[in-house]
Amino acid sequence: MARGRRSRNPLFAFTSFLKRQPPKVKAFLAVVSGIVALIFLRFIVQDHDNLFVAAEAVHAMGIAVLIYKLGKERTCAGLSLKSQELTAIFLGVRLYCSFVMEYDIHTFLDSATLVTTCWVIYMIRYKLKSTYMSDLDNLHNYYVVVPCAILALAIHPKSIGHILVNRLLWAFCVYLEAVSVLPQLRIMQNTKVVEPFTAHYVFALGVARFLSCAHWVLQILDSHGYILTALGSGLWPSTVLLSEVVQTFILADFCYYYVKSVVGGQMMVRLPSGVV
């Protein structure tokens, strides 16, 4: 009887349809869905800066889920310490750049996110160390940090009225943010089963990254490309946009399986081989 009700559920029927499609069709539908979502946001959001604030708010909600998991459940199983450390690094660098370049509401939001991220790191390292899956969290940070630093040296803002060191740091935090979630995806790939609180957190990251990407894309469209010119010359403007797109698509696969699990009434998110 329950199976019959599920089969009549439009969302369940749609996810079943998606499951039967080949990878190329799934990718096409994902791109179309992204475009539709962008068009929808363009019409309902008047001030596109609100999208960036919304992205920070969703990220904060994800961290709130982590705080509950660590404080109430007393376990950090399934969480990547390395991803949290990378997050703290790019937030710290971006906070510095925000202070010296463009002090605004984003500075306050980044400060709050950095404080909570440092608390999460402290809990994993010291209070809940016995539940930390160190053997599965095996993507070393230098594999992520070093390429980002090299890319920042090669591609960074050329002339925006700030000293070279600040421009290099700005580029570095943009690149590091785009890939900071990779260790978390690696640990989920190793376990294949993601418990609810970790799944909620990573899904919140995916939504936040999409909103941040939408902020940039809509800014470019509405300014007829002027925002790219304002960012400087050379490869830097297009690389910034590419970084936003990359960090969105990195989490797209997981978000699909998260929604599928929620629609199917499953608490755990189960990932097939080859995902993330």
pLDDT, tens only, 200-256: 999 999 999 888 888 878 877 776 666 666 566 678 888 888 888 888 888 888 887
Task: Return the amino acid letter for 144.
Answer: V
End-to-end CA gap in the chain: 34
Name 48's Cβ contacts closer than 8 Å, sequence gap at least 6: 215, 218, 219, 222
pLDDT band at 35 (very low <50, low <70, confident <90, very high): low
pLDDT band at 117 (very low <50, low <70, confident <90, very high): very high
The sign of the CA dihedral 121, 122, 126, 130 is negative
Question: Is the Cβ–Cβ distance between 218 and 184 less than 8 Å?
Answer: no
* pLDDT of amino acid 1: 45
Name 116's Cβ contacts closer than 8 Å, sequence gap at least 6: 60, 63, 67
Name 174's Cβ contacts closer than 8 Å, sequence gap at least 6: 240, 243
Question: Is the Cβ–Cβ distance between 86 and 118 less than 8 Å?
Answer: no
Question: Residue 119 pLDDT > 90, yes or no?
Answer: yes
Which of 110-114, 157-161, 227-231, 261-265 shows the lowest per-residue confidence on average (mean pLDDT)?
Answer: 227-231
Q: Which segment, 11-15, 63-67, 171-175, is predicted with the most confidence on average?
A: 171-175
pLDDT band at 95 (very low <50, low <70, confident <90, very high): very high
* pLDDT of amino acid 221: 72
Alpha helical stretches, state H, the chain: 2-8, 10-19, 23-44, 49-68, 81-101, 105-122, 142-154, 164-179, 182-191, 196-222, 226-230, 236-250, 252-263
* pLDDT of amino acid 39: 67
**pTM higher than 0.85:** no
> What mean pLDDT value characterizes the chain?
81
Question: Residue 19 pLDDT > 90, yes or no?
Answer: no
Question: Residue 38 pLDDT > 90, yes or no?
Answer: no
Distance between CA atoms of 26 and 80, rounded to whole angstroms? 28
Which percentage of the chain shows pLDDT scores above 70?
Answer: 77
Question: Residue 87 pLDDT > 50, yes or no?
Answer: yes
CB atoms within 10 A of CB 148: 23
Question: Residue 4 pLDDT > 70, yes or no?
Answer: no
Q: Which segment, 23-27, 178-182, 259-263, is predicted with the most confidence on average?
A: 178-182
Distance between CA atoms of 100 and 83, rounded to whole angstroms? 26
Which tokens in the block code for residue 274? 């080859």
pLDDT band at 103 (very low <50, low <70, confident <90, very high): low
Q: What angle do CA 174, 180, 185 make, to 5 degrees?
A: 145
Which of 25-34, 133-142, 160-169 shows the lowest per-residue confidence on average (mean pLDDT)?
Answer: 25-34
* pLDDT of amino acid 258: 85
